[in-house]
Amino acid sequence: MFQKSKILVIYTGGTIGMIMNKETKVLEPFPFVDIYTHLPMLSLLNADISVIEMLPLIDSSDTNPEFWVRLASLIYENYYDFDGCVVLHGTDTMAYTASALCFLLENLSKPVILTGSQLPLGVMRTDGRENILNSIEIAAAKKDGKPRVPEVCIYFENSLLRGNRAYKDNAEHFNAFHSANYPKLAQIGVNIKYNDSFIRQTTDHLLKLHNKMDENISIIKLYPGISKQAMQSVFNTDGLRAVILETFGSGNAPSNPDFLSVLEEAVNNNIVMVNVTQCKGGGTVEVGRYEASLQLKRIGVVSGKDITTEAAVAKLMYLLGEGVSNEELKHYMGISLRGEITS
């Protein structure tokens, strides 16, 4: 028998941690320290599991940069005592948290796998059991003595996805997460099939924790007829440093002079603007494919390439928290730091 991997499970809250109270028949949180009682199949895994509840438990809609830094710090504090970590998290903002952890944990060489469920663990048809079991099995997996997936991932419904490439696109089906612009890292069926060529390799560098994020960013989602006043209200926000411009198709935007003048004024006022496509099901910003995107480049809008909005939010907050200049911010938003864009 191989030596068991030591896996840390961090419960932050969310649907997955709910079971039925036998007396009141009401769903309520259960203490994950009793995880073996509720999931006896865990004893069959080649892993020793320890559980930490990150208090106060929250609905994932209440996540924010302060929460991300606390979670990253907790992982960092326990990093050298465990072979991997599984984070139980609500689904609504899981992709944001996964993206944030990618940037806050530099030189990660062990698995950090986020998972959750669409149905509570105490419901008969819950997807939570399989999600927890498979996440822990993957976090414990090794190849040639090294962790099999040494990066931040999301596991959901038989698929392992890179954390900063994933997004939630369904609130009803069990396969709630997808990664249109990057292949799955593993597919789980009768066997676990790893897509090794797309998994980031381990590093010999020490893990570095970043613990500052700057929230002075915003998002403008373009729509036909968006008004000059609506955009100006965003650009006039005190302390604003950067804006994600969610554009049409391959990075296109209206070409009328009034619209472009508002953007140009914002850029001239030292607001960094990043062009991210609204297309979730695959797509990338291709500057120059259409005339509409060339105007944005002329103004000084930075191409986000195929980054997701979730990853763009986390990356901007991380970089601004590092105190980079506007020119450095533009440079780093155009290159891959943690595999978040296709170079």
Catalytic machinery residues: 15
3-state SS record for 85-150: EEEECCCCCHHHHHHHHHHHEECCCCCEEEECCCCCCCCCCCCHHHHHHHHHHHHHCEECCEECCC
Q: Is 220 helix (H, G, I), strand (E, B) or coil?
A: strand
Alpha-carbon distance of 86 to 63, in angstroms, equals 17
Q: Using CB atoms within 10 Å of the CB of residue 103, give its burial: 0 to 12 exposed, 13 to 18 middle, 19+ buried.
A: buried
- The torsion angles phi and psi of 193, rounded to 5 degrees, stand at -105, 110
Of 101, 43, 42, the residue nearest 75 (C-alpha): 101
| CA distance to 7, 42, 284, per residue, from 295 (Å) | 50, 56, 17
List alpha helices for the chain, DSSP H: 35-38, 65-78, 94-104, 128-140, 228-235, 257-268, 291-299, 309-321, 326-333
